Amino acid sequence: MELDRQEGPEQLDASGRPLVPQRVAETKPTALQDWFIYLSVVVLICGTIAISALELGAAPAEPIVRLPVFIGAAVLSVVTVDAIVRVWRSAWAWLPVSRDRGLFRFVWAAVLVGVLLVALAALGWSVLVG
């Protein structure tokens, strides 16, 4: 005896659109995942010191500006590379579930590449100025 299988009814939200899961499980966490927030705090503090020094009249070439920019840009570069890897993997994981969310994450990854380029430019500036 052969049974004809029918798909169950698709769950819909209040406006009649199909429900999409809120999260897709991360199967391969990155190396810095547990340290992401702590490293971001280091970048925030370095940026605060450098901007405050500039606001108080320090020249951009002075060590009180250059050193925090160097440290902050170096840490930001590492954190951004880790974030790019996570977002890139997330984009590929979302494509089969929700194409729009997957494509949005590819745009997000492209923006992070731009942030990485700015961080590397700041790092280069802090080394070359002076």
pLDDT tens-digit map of 9-48: 667 777 777 777 777 877 888 888 889 999 999 999 999 9
Reading the block at residue 115, the tokens are: 């942030």
Q: How much of the chain, in percent, has pLDDT values that exceed 90?
A: 65
pLDDT tens-digit map of 86-128: 999 999 999 988 899 999 999 999 999 999 999 999 999 888 8
68, 50 Cβ separation under 8 angstroms: yes
How many other CB atoms are found less than 10 A from the CB of residue 46? 20
Residue 120 pLDDT: 94
Report the predicted TM-score, pTM, of the whole model to 2 decimal places: 0.78
Domain ranges of the chain: 34-128
pLDDT tens-digit map of 49-93: 999 999 999 999 999 999 999 999 999 999 999 999 999 999 999
CA R_g for the chain: 22
Instruction: Provide the total of helices (H) and of strands (E) in the chain, helices listed first.
Output: 3, 0
Smallest CA-to-CA distance from 128 within 73, 79, 81, 78 is with 73
CA distance 43 to 74: 9
